[in-house]
Amino acid sequence: MREEGSELEMEKGFLKWKPVNLMKKILSLPMKKTKNDIGLRLDISYILVNLIVCSYPVNTYPKLLYRNSLDDLILFLTVYHGKGNFRIFNFRGEKEDSDYKDNDLIGIAAKFESKDFEIQELRSTLINDGKIPISPIDLETRTLVEEETNNVICERIGWLDHFPPPFELLEEIVDGIENYLSVSKNRVAVLHCRMGKADLV
């Protein structure tokens, strides 16, 4: 009989060596990928503890070979920040058939809902190992927030690529992020535009 810890290690190793992750590594060598304890390769950066920028997440091939996977991004956010504690702010103004849709987000949330026990176990392990810094009081609050806002939300406020946003739109974006984050110290805002994160930093 295997110990629980070894099963977790095996699962982490499997996530790390998926063929898609190997292809992403080859195709995006110049990009800096954020390391994490669950084996996901994501192009994300923390600006603040509650403010993240990332490259545009996708859910179709061939872009999945070199872009952030929308599934992986949501899994990462769910494990590290808790279900319902994040909002994705999509600044892409252009529309394409390959863009992720609201239904895609709902489908991913439903898929992870069916694996909620495993995700919470992984989350608890990372908290207990000190890999997610959180105090017992915060953990109680976080659980309460998760129960109250059990959904993935994406807010679309876009403008054309390579152009600055109109000042009124910029004010609306800053106010929207501030209002979202002010509800709870456990929330995080995830920002992305059309191509990457460099122009957001």
The pLDDT confidence band at residue 123, using thresholds 50, 70 and 90, is: confident
Q: Check whether 132 has a pLDDT greater than 60.
A: yes
Task: Report which of residues 53 and 93 the model is more confident about.
Answer: 53
User: Which tens digit of pLDDT belongs to each residue from 69-90?
Assistant: 999 999 999 888 888 889 999 9
- 52-74 average pLDDT score: 86
Burial 124-141 (b: 16+ CB within 10 A, else e): ebbbeeeebeeeeeebeb
pLDDT reported for residue 107: 85
* DSSP result, 77-143: HHHHH-TT-EEEEEEE-S--TTS--HHHHHHHHHHHHHTHHHHHHHHHHHHHTTSS---HHHHHHHH
Domains of the chain: 4-192 (3.90.190)
pLDDT reported for residue 198: 41
pLDDT reported for residue 153: 76
Rounded (10°) angle between helices 102-114 and 116-128: 80
Q: Check whether 110 has a pLDDT greater than 50.
A: yes
User: Which tens digit of pLDDT belongs to each residue from 133-190?
Assistant: 654 444 444 444 444 444 557 888 888 887 888 899 999 999 999 999 999 888 999 9
pLDDT reported for residue 19: 67
pLDDT reported for residue 88: 92
pLDDT reported for residue 180: 92
pTM score of the predicted model:
0.72
User: Which tens digit of pLDDT belongs to each residue from 25-46?
Assistant: 555 544 556 667 788 888 889 9
- 80-107 average pLDDT score: 84
pLDDT reported for residue 134: 52
Q: Is 193 a catalytic residue?
A: yes
Q: Check whether 21 has a pLDDT greater than 80.
A: no
Catalytic residue from among 193, 194, 200, 201:
193
